[in-house]
Amino acid sequence: MPEGKSLHIYNTLTRKKEVFKPLNPPFVGLYVCGPTVYSDVHLGNIRSNLTFDIVYRYLTYLKYNVRYVRNITDVGHLLDNDEGDDKIEKRARLEKIEPMEIVQKYTNNFHVVTQLFNLINPSIEPTATGHIVEQIEMVQRILDNNLAYEINGSVYFDVKKYSGEHNYGELSGRKLDELLEQTRDELEGGDEKKYFADFAIWKKASEETIMKWDSPWGLGVPGWHLECSVMSTKYLGQRFDIHGGGMDLKFPHHECEIAQSIGADGVNPVKYWMHNNMLTVNGTKMSKSLGNSFLPLELISGDHPSLEQGYSPMTVRFFMLQAHYRSTLDFSNEALQAAEKGLKKLMTTITTLNKLESSEKSSVNISFLIKKCKESMNDDFNTPITIAHLFDGVKIINSINDDKESISAKDLENLQDHYNTFVFEILGLKIEHVNSSNDKLANALMDVIINIRNQSKEKKDWETADLIRNELKRLNISINDGKDSSTWSYEE
């Protein structure tokens, strides 16, 4: 039996911390909303994925058998609720290529970034287009239960009828009677929904729509909310343990997921809902319109007017872990530079720890330090407090190294195992080696990037290969393609 009985998770649904009791131990089902692949991944995606990377790592440490599912939205994400263009098709028209080229291009880019930040790949990474049949089947079950209606080739979920027996708004805290105060003006101008809160679970395709599928209601596309209900329950069961995502997804996306699953199968699908908080820059909301939004690769390169320098992926990861996932995370050069120094200090200490020599007896209390780290992680994955405890240990390690304290062989082994486990396996940090002539981290990153580019060339995805080459050239990095391999060079 896993040792996770003392783990507490804050459940958005109940608005309190609860003792984690999986439905079918030692199996744990974890579903996380992945990206809509129509543009470069943004820092909000990174924070969300980092949050649940930690959840996955710690549950695995507790000896749970975790099935981690993270989807790729490659169709059905409309621009304006249930109206407007699909985001992917709009980008495809702008770039004058096929929608699935857009999907492949930005899926590749997403995977490059997740590798840079040392995010563990999910057990399953399903796509919306790969589950059209199952989505049509769920729509039909909702219709059969009289909780949806079809009109002009589109199918809408009937929120008002659903709310007669269920609490629509239980996750986000929104009350339907407050929404009812809104007028029906929103339904004018050709809107075919019966009620403004109704949402599309199948949308009729226009003649211009490229990605569309046949269904009992005609050619169309699935609603954005539908895919997650289908894929989470397909791979984790009608009721599973944890569903995660950004706070901005609570309403309407996750609220609609609950309604759809209950509407189709009569089962509230998730036991624990988890949501990470938003990002700010110098106390201001991060947004493109304010000019304070930057992409992960810009953060690494420093190629942005808001940045004084570039920051390594591990510095950014460490910085993000210094805030609890439910807290707002504020980016600033000062905070990132402080994180850079803190990470260097931690990694230097681990190098020192691994070289320590033991004594016959210990004058330090190692068990207390190890216990405090476990307690903080058991308190809703509290990484900032865990990091603080690890730095308490830095003082102990330096004292032993300076011969001011002593440590027995058994305690030294336990302390080394503790730091290697918590820093590298649970927090997912990596040592970034630098020498005077070259940056080994840069070599490792370039190996990843060149490998992705080579895979693109093998698939004849020349656009992605050229994009990588051109973006690197912008950073004064040249790719030299040889007969059997590719090398790189940098010029100041």
Tell me the two tokens of residue 282.
């110098």
How far apart, in whole angstroms, are the C-alpha atoms of residue 92 and residue 99?
5
Residues 397 and 450 in one domain: no
Q: What is the pTM of this model?
A: 0.86
Decide if 431 is inside a domain: no
Residues 226 and 301 in one domain: no
Residues 392 and 453 in one domain: no
Q: Which of 223, 249, 276 is the last residue of a domain?
A: 276
Give me the pLDDT at residue 182, please.
45
Residues 146 and 238 in one domain: yes
Give me the pLDDT at residue 454, please.
86
How far apart, in whole angstroms, are the C-alpha atoms of residue 457 and residue 100?
17
Residues 211 and 92 in one domain: yes
Give me the pLDDT at residue 338, please.
97
Work out the angle between the directed axes of helices 43-61 and 313-321 (0-180°, nearest 10): 70
Give me the pLDDT at residue 78, please.
60
Decide if 283 is inside a domain: no
Decide if 329 is inside a domain: yes
Residue 378 near residue 8, CB atoms below 8 Å: yes
Residues 206 and 338 in one domain: no
The candidate with the shortest Cα–Cα distance to 405, out of 353, 364, 349, is 364
Decide if 366 is inside a domain: yes
Residue 98 near residue 60, CB atoms below 8 Å: no
Domain that holds residue 380: 288-426
How far apart, in whole angstroms, are the C-alpha atoms of residue 249 and residue 32?
11
CATH code for position 390: 1.10.730
Decide if 346 is inside a domain: yes
How far apart, in whole angstroms, are the C-alpha atoms of residue 450 and residue 296?
18
- Average pLDDT, 10 consecutive residues per value, the chain (492 residues): 76 98 97 93 92 98 98 75 71 89 94 95 97 98 98 96 94 76 41 88 91 96 94 98 96 96 98 96 77 85 89 96 97 95 96 94 94 97 98 96 95 97 97 55 80 85 87 81 70 57
Find tokens 């959840």 and name the residue: 55
Decide if 2 is inside a domain: no
Give the chain's domain count.
3
Residues 229 and 302 in one domain: no
Residues 390 and 246 in one domain: no
Residues 362 and 485 in one domain: no
Please enumerate in sequence order all residues whose Cβ is within 8 A of that of 176, keeping only pairs 6 or more positions apart, or say none.
159, 163, 168, 169, 197
Which strands form 329-331's sheet, in the order they lie side by side? Answer: 284-285, 279-281, 329-331
Q: Where are the alpha helices (DSSP H) in 159-254?
A: 159-162, 176-179, 224-236
Residues 230 and 268 in one domain: yes
Residues 147 and 241 in one domain: yes
Decide if 282 is inside a domain: no
Q: Which of 256, 276, 296 is the last residue of a domain?
A: 276
Q: Which of 276, 309, 337 is the last residue of a domain?
A: 276
| Max intra-chain CA distance, the chain | 83
